[in-house]
Amino acid sequence: MPVEIDRDAILYLNNLPEKDRRIIKRYILTLENPRSAKGVELLANGHCRMHVGRTHTISFDVLPGQIVRILEIRSIEQAHKRYKR
């Protein structure tokens, strides 16, 4: 499946240290087949979430036409603040 990444997610990714970028990119590649990707959760609003280690979270949708659209990449702390966990 093709993977599209939102512009803000790319900007966030590009501002991370090289080691973090490399790890997150590896996880993004697994989203080419989201059904077999490890650690993917389906959220109540229809979005999906994938934890990247214990440091980051990738939020994405699987769109009709079999396209994975990455909506945002956040640190775990930012994601918990946003979703009040």
Taking a C-beta distance cutoff of 8 angstroms, is the pair 33, 52 a contact? no
Residues 6+ apart with CB under 8 A from 28: 3, 5, 58, 70
Number of domains within the chain = 1
Running DSSP on this structure, what letter comes out for residue 37? -
pTM score of the predicted model: 0.86
CA torsion sign for 45, 85, 32, 21 is positive
Bridge partner residues of 40 (DSSP): 50
Reported as a pLDDT band with limits 50, 70 and 90, residue 1 is: confident
Query: Residue 8 sits in a domain of what CATH number?
Result: 3.30.2310.20
pLDDT in tens, 62-82: 988 889 999 999 998 887 777
Q: Which domain holds residue 13?
A: 3-83
Whole-angstrom Cα distance, residue 46 to residue 60? Answer: 10
Grade residue 84 by pLDDT with cuts at 50, 70 and 90.
Answer: low
